Amino acid sequence: MQLNDIVDLERFALGDAAFIRQCRETLDRDGVLVLPDFLRADALAMVHAESVGKQDRAYFCAQNHSVYLTPHNAEFGDDHPANRQVVSSKGCICDDEVAEDSPLRLLYDHPDFRGFVAGTTGQAELHPYADTMSSINVHYAGQGQELGWHFDNSSFAITLLIQKPDAGSRFEFIKDLRDAKAGRMNYEGVEDLLDGRVQPDVLTMEAGTLVLFRGRNSIHRVSPNESDKMRMLAVLAYNAEADVSLSENVRMTFYGRLS
C-alpha cells in the first residue's frame, strides 16, 4: 500500500509548499484545521475493520480532573475553576496493538505526512514516542462516555475520526480562552463556560476527517455519546524532540500497563 492509496494526493498535496502554507494559515487563524474525507474510502474501511476487531483489547478507564489538568491548588477552594472536577472516560488501544500494515501506521511513518504536519504546525522536526505505546492510539467512547473540558499540555493534536456515533459526542471548543505562556488562566471565563453562561463553538465532522487542533489555549471537550454506536478516533502523536516517553504514571493511568 502506498500513501496515495490512503490519501488523495491530488486533493491533499501533502508535499506541496503552497498547500502546506494554506493549511498553516488556516490553523494559525482558526486554531483548528479540518480536512474532510482525508482518508480514502478503502483505507477508512480497513482502519474501521481493524478498530472494531481490536475493540475487545481496549483498556477502559475514567478520571476526574480539572480543566487545567493540574493537581489541586491549595490557594483556592474546591469549587474554584482551578480545582473544579470534570470527568473523562474512554477506552484505548496502544501503538503496539496497531498492525504493521495498518493504513494508520503507514500514514504516521510516511515522511510526506510528517513533513506536512511539521510545516503546518511550524515545528522544525517531529519524532515518534520512544515508548512502544504512545505514538498511535485508537480511542473508543461508548454510550455516556465523554472527554471532559480541558486545555492540552501539548501545542497541537492530530486526530482521525473512524466512526461517528448517531447522537452526541460533539467536539466543542472556545478558541484562546487562556494564554498559558503569559500565565493568564482566565478563571472567570472558564467559570462562565462550566456554569453555562457562554456557549462553545461546535466542530462537525464525519468519519475519515483529519483534524489538527491547537488545544493549549483553546478549551475543548467531547460531549457524552448519546447513542449505542461507539465513537472511534485515532490519535497520531509526535514530539518535537527525540527519545521522549510518556511517564510510567501516565501510561498506567491511560493504558493500564507499562509495556
User: How far is it, in rounded angstroms, from Cα 184 to Cα 193?
Assistant: 16
Instruction: Please name the residues in contact with 172: beta carbons below 8 A apart, sequence gap of 6 or more.
Output: 200, 201, 202, 203, 220, 221, 222, 223
Q: What pLDDT tens digit does each residue of the chain (259 aa) get?
A: 999 999 999 999 999 999 999 999 999 999 999 999 999 999 999 999 999 999 999 999 999 999 998 989 999 999 999 999 999 999 999 999 999 999 999 999 999 999 999 999 999 999 999 998 899 999 999 999 999 999 998 889 999 999 999 999 999 999 999 999 999 999 999 999 999 999 999 999 999 999 999 999 999 999 999 999 999 999 999 998 898 886 676 677 777 877 7
Cα–Cα separations (whole angstroms), residue 115 to 10, 19, 100, 123: 17, 12, 21, 9
Compute how many other C-beta atoms are within 10 angstroms of the C-beta atom of residue 168. 18
Helices assigned H by DSSP within the chain = 3-6, 17-30, 41-53, 103-109, 111-121, 187-194, 248-255
Per-residue model confidence (pLDDT) at position 58: 95
Rounded Cα–Cα distance for residues 99 and 234 (Å): 13
Task: For 96-141, write each residue's pLDDT tens digit.
Answer: 999 999 999 999 999 999 999 999 999 999 999 999 889 999 999 9
Strands (E), the chain: 32-35, 59-65, 86-93, 136-141, 147-150, 157-163, 171-174, 201-203, 210-213, 219-222, 231-236
Hey, what domains does the chain have and what are their CATH numbers? Answer: 3-255 (2.60.120.620)
Half-sphere CA count of 38, side-chain side, radius 13 A: 25
Residue position matching grid coordinates 460533539: 170
pLDDT at 252: 74
> What is the pLDDT at residue 250?
67
Dihedral sign, CA of 60, 62, 67, 68? negative
C-alpha cell of 89? 472516560
